[in-house]
Amino acid sequence: MPRTLLPLAVLALLSLAVPLAAQADRDTYDADSRYKMDRDSLNERVRDADFASLPVQLGPRPFYLVEDMDASPLKRKLQACALNKAHYKPTHFSIGHRGAALQFPEHTQQSYEAAAKMGAGVIECDVTFTKDKQLVCRHSQCDLHTTTNILAVPELAAKCRQPFVPADELTGKPASAECCTSDITVAEFKSLSGKMDGFNPKAKTPEEYLQGTPAWRTDLYASQGTLMTHAESIQLIKKLGAQFTPELKSASVPMPYEGTYTQAMYAQQMIDEYKAAGINPRDIFAQSFDIADIRYWLKNEPKIGHQAVYLDDANTPAELPSAADLKALKAEGVKIVTPPLWALVKLDANNKIVPSDYARNAKSAGLDIITWSFERAGPLKNGGGWYYQTVNSALNNDGDMLEVLDVIARQVGVIGVFSDWPASVSFYANCMGLE
């Protein structure tokens, strides 16, 4: 073992024994569109939480990433932090993307709990609805065939929009299925178990189809995945002492659903469940890719709408909004934009990672920025694929993702980062003093 790894590993183990420290809470925007921090509010909430005594558990991965970095001032700074920091605190800069989806089945109780234990101060529930119009946590309305065991439950598999079809070796057609939350009731949804997202395209049976976890993830923690309704996620995340960032998902059925359930009713129902739970509006960062949803909340739920998060679904740099577009968003009341990670960085003439034009335009427009999603691209040995498309040629090891994180944190100035493994972002935020 290299000498530098031993003290880091020891410190990682020691961090498991340190009590959870209270972390600042985000309040409303001031005139400069920045957040004020209400420490007393979060301290009180954390003291009342059953999980308040749990330590932040970073585990070995953040330290592995640091050691995998190329030699640089940033690497030395993070190494020094790892050696000298006594304990780590929860941070709002670290957002649990679907929980801790790198190793736990996404949008499950276990995934949310893992995210909180890793220091995520904000946790996401993607919100969709069931056949009986109840809200549940799923990334997509029609992903049950890849994220749950529904195909192994014959009576529920029979209700899927598209039942399982085996792979055809002669034509090369892959195995397929499509199962939606709108195909089943909330009670039936709750009877399922979550699994790691993935499928086997060569499958001949439903059982084989369900065995498709990417090699860079793991099934080690997938033996149980407790699915959650949106209301249940609110109670759990409140108990964990974190803030909320629900995303209203686009429906995969025609709206109005069954002729009566409109998009506005769907958007309002999500907010109403926070009201029913007594959640302070300043702790809710509602998200949507649909600007109509953001406008609805701004008009009808301004206490929540004023910090609603407008997600950008651009697939290439050419699809990103212009400087004028960003100023127009700001003018109509949008305060936070959330593009994919690649949108915020580019390479300069020396192949150095620097802030992108989009990043500069968003800041110039007075917009705050959150980004998605850290540690979702898999190993970076050959670049980072779609998530790092603007800087792929500068990446050749997993440690490089910390270089990207440093640029978007310190040069772009993002206020939060969605991560599939929140411990890595929590480590960086603690080392850099980001709350």
- pLDDT tens-place string over residues 132-154: 999 999 999 999 999 999 999 99
**Predicted TM-score of the model (pTM):** 0.88
- What is the number of H-type helices and E-type strands within the chain? 17, 17
Render pLDDT for 96-116 as a digit per residue (tens, 0 to 9).
Answer: 999 999 999 999 999 999 999
Kindly report the average pLDDT of the chain as a whole number: 90
Q: Domain ranges in the chain?
A: 5-125+230-432, 129-227
Cα-based torsion angle of the residue sequence 419, 421, 424, 425 in order, rounded to the nearest 10 degrees: 20
User: Strand, helix or coil at 349?
Assistant: coil
Please tell me whether the peptide bond between 256 and the residue prior to it is cis, using omega within 30 degrees of 0.
Answer: yes
Report the distance separating Cα 122 and Cα 240, nearest Å. Answer: 10
Helix (H) or strand (E) holding 309: strand 309-311
pLDDT at 401 over 50: yes
Cβ distance 158 to 140 under 8 Å?
A: no
Cβ distance 55 to 87 under 8 Å?
A: yes
Kindly give, in sequence order, each residue whose CB lies less than 8 Å from that of residue 435, ignoring residues fewer than 6 positions away. Answer: 23, 24, 37, 91, 92, 93, 429
Can you tell me the mean pLDDT for 189-215?
A: 97
Report the distance separating Cα 163 and Cα 155, nearest Å. Answer: 11
Tokens of 28: 């409303």
Q: CATH topology for 5-125+230-432?
A: TIM Barrel (3.20.20)
> Which pLDDT does position 86 carry in this prediction?
86
Kindly give, in sequence order, each residue whose CB lies less than 8 Å from that of residue 279, ignoring residues fewer than 6 positions away. Answer: 234, 238, 244
Tokens of 165: 């079809």
Cα-based torsion angle of the residue sequence 378, 384, 386, 387 in order, rounded to the nearest 10 degrees: 80
Render pLDDT for 226-269 as a digit per residue (tens, 0 to 9).
Answer: 999 999 999 999 999 999 999 999 999 999 999 999 999 999 99
Cβ distance 233 to 240 under 8 Å?
A: no
DSSP 226-255: BB-BHHHHHHHHHHTT-EE--EEPPPSS-S
User: Strand, helix or coil at 344?
Assistant: helix
Burial group, residue 62, by CB count within 10 angstroms (0-12, 13-18, 19+)? buried
Kindly give, in sequence order, each residue whose CB lies less than 8 Å from that of residue 170, ignoring residues fewer than 6 positions away. Answer: none
Render pLDDT for 311-336 as a digit per residue (tens, 0 to 9).
Answer: 999 999 999 999 999 999 999 999 99
Can you tell me the mean pLDDT for 67-85?
A: 97
Length of the chain: 435
Burial group, residue 169, by CB count within 10 angstroms (0-12, 13-18, 19+)? exposed
Cβ distance 312 to 287 under 8 Å?
A: no
Q: How many CB atoms lie within 10 A of CB 348?
A: 9
- Mapping DSSP onto H, E and C, the string for 164-199 reads EECCECCCCECCEEECCHHHCCHHHHHCCEECCCCC
Report the distance separating Cα 136 and Cα 130, nearest Å. Answer: 7
Render pLDDT for 7-54 as a digit per residue (tens, 0 to 9).
Answer: 444 334 334 333 333 333 333 334 344 444 454 554 455 445 555 456
Helix (H) or strand (E) holding 79: helix 73-84
